[in-house]
Structure formats: C-alpha cells, structure tokens
C-alpha cells in the first residue's frame, strides 16, 4: 500500500512534455491506515527540488514507515494527472509492482477554486470574465466594473479583458477615448495582476488585450501597434515569468493542458490579443480569433443569441473545436452629435447577470450548451458584483461546470454599493457625462 501511495505521489508532479533524464525528489506526507485506506492528498503535501521537464516510467525508493521518499527519473511514459491513475512500474531492477489496488487519493487542493478542476483541461472549464476589467470609475460613462482587479480576482474572476490605446508611445487602458476614461498604463495594471498571481500559486488566469488602435499606421503604412508593443509592459511588470507559451499558435480543445499541469509548471497565465498579433516576435501572445470565437460583441439585444460574432466565416465544426466566449454585457446605444457610444445598461443588471429567466446569463449559457453540446469557456459580464443575489454570475459558471458554488461574493459592502441598485437616474447621469466629453 505504501508503494502505491508513493507512486501516486509521483503522479502528482509528472509532466507530459519532451523526454528528460532529470531526477526529482518528492516527499509524501499522507498517512495510511488499513489495507483499503484511501489517502487524502493535497498539492501542498509534496515538495520537489526540481519539477521534471519530461515524464517517467520508473521509481526507486526507500520505505521507512508511513512517510516515503521517491526519486523519480523522467522518461517517456505520459502521466498527466495531478493525482490518481494506475500504472505498472519497475522498482529496483527487475522487480515489478502492480498499482492496480482500488485505493485512490483524493485531491483536496483547489485549482481555480475547485479541486475538481485540477485534472480538467483548460479548455474544459467555464470561467467568468470581467469585461473592461480596469474601467472602475464611479459615475463615469466609460466604467464597466465597480471593483478593482485585485478584488475581481479574489472574488473568482479568472479572465481579464480591457480596451487599450496607444498614447505618445505608451499603452493605456482607456475606454473609447482617454479623455472619457483613462485607467492608467497597461504596465501598472499588469503589475497589480502579477502581485496577485504570485500570491496565488494554484490559480490560472487568462488575459485578453483589446488592441483598440490596431488601425493606426506608421510612416511606412505598417501597423503602428502590434503585440510587440506589449512586451515591455509585460516584462517590466514581472508577468512574463508566469505566462504559458503554447506549443502551437492554433490550439484546439484537445491541445490545451490541464489546469494542474499549468499550475505545476508555474506557467499560469494565458495571454491573447484581438488584433495585430505577431506570434513570430511574441509567441506567447496568441491571436484570439485563431484560438477562440465569440458571440456577438457589445450586444444591445437582450435575447443574447449564442451565435457566431467574431471572427466571421467559421464553420460549425471549427466552432466546436475551439474555445469560445459568451458576450453577455448588455449595452445602451447613445447617439450624440453624429457620434455613437455604447454604455452599459446598468438598469437591467439584476436580469442580465441572473441565473434564470429571459435575458439572463444562465439562460444564455443553457442556450449555448444546447447549440454546441458544451458551455462557453468564458462568460463576459459587466459589473460582475451586481445581480439578483451576490455571486449570481459565479453560480451560473458553477452550474455550467457541474460543481457547487459555495464561495463568498463580492468585495466589501462599501465598495460593492456603487452599482448595487442601478437606476434610471444613474443612466441619465452617465449620458450627461458623455455629452460633456463629446462637446470638448
């Protein structure tokens, strides 16, 4: 039984990558009692001097009591689960030990808040996305969230998206115009994200960079702002060390690793850019629309059809092979002096961010499941902290993931009241702000 526990400990850090001969030493601190005992393990039960770059087919060990130490030599047998699985392995020469016992460890360490996610592929999890995550400004027409990015991540947001503009050689998070809402530099925002990522080693997050100035040209007619412009803020913020570089520029559902594999590798941030990608220069920043599709963007239709929005022209089979995002942020179209601006429809948030009913996030998710036999990977919402009850958007995601939502949401009482009761008066105020900006 001890042999089985040690072998399962080895499974906890195996990586399905290229062959290697590196050796890693793990310590199993699980206690076993009884012939059929099922050990309960967490990722924190294992310490490793070096994670293997390959996978393994054999172990050598000493068996000094209930705590064992295993030296693992990586070879070529793919083992990709954090915990679990059965194998036959060679121990100390020609002796063969079968690990077909029914005892099986239970992982207690959550990955993205749920232990069940550790062995799921990145492409088989539904997460809530904060639309225009940086735009947190009370009574501003360009705002899309009420709580800052650290609180967003604390509450369970695992995808961050935002519109970026290039001003005097620097990238800023600005909504429509930096005169309307300037949330600061991309570097400063990413520095805050990096601080959170460093403090949460069992979480995987996704960032979509909205390259709003993709049509700008330099003196030679070439795109002025591409993914190359994002390298400096990414590196200066410290985020680069956590970014996962996929083996392909076009990843299908089957190509993505599990959350556990990403976590154990330390590469726990996935980055996309919507326009002007350059994967030759910046291979870790994928083109969004080569790897993911979206339902209609900036919707004003409260029915929220789960149909293809961007990119155009994908076949149904192609849609079913890629990640996809449900855009569920209801907008109001405001026309002023010939200009048109979309602003969040805050009046309807209790419906839009709801679990049930026409126009709700839950209803759209169910429609998507019926159409594509799987839920969206990302649910993009405004003011995620608002809804018919605290955490309603996370309840929708939990149901899509077939897990139980039991977390506390959202933020603090004082900071969450900014839009907890959106009103017609508020909508009138933000329209007035728009008028003032457009008249400048």
Residues classed as catalytic: 131, 175
- Report the C-alpha gap between 284 and 311 in whole angstroms: 21
Helices (H), 57-185: 149-155
What's the CA gap between 16 and 40, in Å, rounded?
24
**Which pair of structure tokens corresponds to residue 216?**
């700008």
Q: How many residues does the chain have?
A: 440
31-37 long-range Cβ contacts below 8 angstroms, 24+ apart? 31/66, 32/1, 32/2, 32/5, 32/66, 35/1, 36/102, 36/103, 37/1, 37/103
Contacts from 133-138 at CB under 8 Å and sequence distance 24+? 133/157, 133/160, 133/161, 133/162, 134/162, 134/173, 134/183, 134/184, 134/189, 135/162, 135/163, 135/173, 135/175, 135/181, 135/183, 136/183, 137/181, 137/183, 138/418
**Whole-number Å distance between alpha carbons of 134 and 388:** 24
Question: What angle is formed at CA 220 by the lines to CA 218 and CA 225, rounded to 5 degrees?
Answer: 30
| Burial readout 155-169 (b: 16 or more C-beta within 10 A, e: otherwise) | bbbbbbbbbbbbeee
Report how far Cα 308 is from the mean position of its chain's Cα atoms: 21
User: What is the rounded CA–CA span in Å between residue 116 and residue 163?
Assistant: 33
Alpha-helix residue ranges (DSSP H) falling in 181-309: 186-199, 231-237, 259-265, 288-291
Residues 6+ apart with CB under 8 A from 436: none
Q: Are strands 182-185 and 170-174 parallel, antiparallel or unpaired?
A: antiparallel
Q: Angle at the Cα of 255 (from 249 to 260), degrees rounded to 5? A: 115
Please give the structure tokens belonging to residue 178: 């930096």
Q: What is the DSSP string of 234-265?
A: HHHHTGGGGB---S-SS--GGGSPBHHHHHHH
Find how far residue 190's CA is from the centre of its chain: 15
């Amino acid at each position: 039984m001890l042999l089985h526990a040690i072998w399962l400990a080895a499974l906890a850090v195996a990586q399905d990558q290229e062959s290697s001969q590196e050796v890693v030493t793990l310590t199993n601190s699980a206690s076993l009692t009884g012939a059929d005992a099922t050990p309960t393990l967490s990722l924190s039960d294992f310490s490793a001097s070096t994670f293997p770059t390959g996978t393994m087919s054999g172990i050598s060990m000493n068996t000094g009591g209930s705590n064992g130490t295993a030296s693992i030599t990586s070879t070529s047998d793919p083992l990709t689960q954090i915990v679990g699985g059965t194998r036959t392995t060679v121990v100390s020469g020609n002796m063969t030990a079968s690990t077909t016992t029914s005892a099986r460890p239970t992982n207690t360490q959550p990955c993205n808040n749920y232990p069940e996610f550790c062995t799921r592929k990145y492409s088989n999890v539904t997460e809530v996305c904060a639309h225009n995550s940086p735009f947190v400004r009370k009574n501003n027409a360009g705002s899309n969230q009420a709580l800052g990015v650290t609180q967003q991540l604390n509450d369970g947001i695992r995808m961050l998206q935002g519109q970026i503009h290039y001003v005097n050689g620097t990238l800023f998070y600005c909504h429509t115009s930096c005169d309307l809402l300037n949330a600061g530099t991309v570097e400063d925002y990413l520095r805050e994200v990096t601080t959170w990522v460093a403090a949460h080693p069992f979480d995987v997050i996704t960032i979509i960079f909205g390259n709003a100035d993709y049509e700008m040209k330099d003196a030679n007619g070439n795109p002025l702002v591409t993914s190359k412009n994002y390298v400096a803020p990414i590196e200066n913020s410290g985020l680069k060390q956590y970014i996962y570089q996929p083996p392909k520029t076009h990843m299908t559902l089957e190509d993505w690793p599990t959350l556990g594999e990403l976590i154990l590798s330390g590469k726990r941030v996935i980055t996309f850019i919507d326009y002007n990608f350059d994967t030759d220069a910046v291979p870790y920043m994928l083109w969004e629309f080569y790897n993911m599709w979206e339902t209609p963007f900036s919707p004003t239709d409260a029915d929220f059809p789960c149909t293809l929005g961007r990119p155009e022209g994908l076949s149904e089979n192609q849609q079913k092979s890629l990640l996809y995002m449900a855009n569920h942020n209801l907008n109001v179209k405001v026309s002023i002096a010939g200009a048109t601006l979309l602003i969040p429809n805050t009046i309807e948030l209790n419906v839009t961010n709801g679990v049930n009913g026409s126009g709700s996030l839950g209803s759209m998710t169910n429609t998507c499941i019926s159409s594509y036999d799987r839920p969206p990977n990302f649910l993009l919402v405004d003011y995620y902290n608002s809804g018919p009850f605290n955490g309603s958007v996370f309840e929708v995601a939990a149901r899509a993931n077939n897990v139980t939502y039991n977390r506390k949401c959202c933020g603090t009482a004082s900071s969450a009241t900014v839009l907890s009761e959106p009103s017609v008066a508020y909508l009138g105020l933000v329209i007035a702000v728009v008028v003032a900006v457009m008249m400048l």
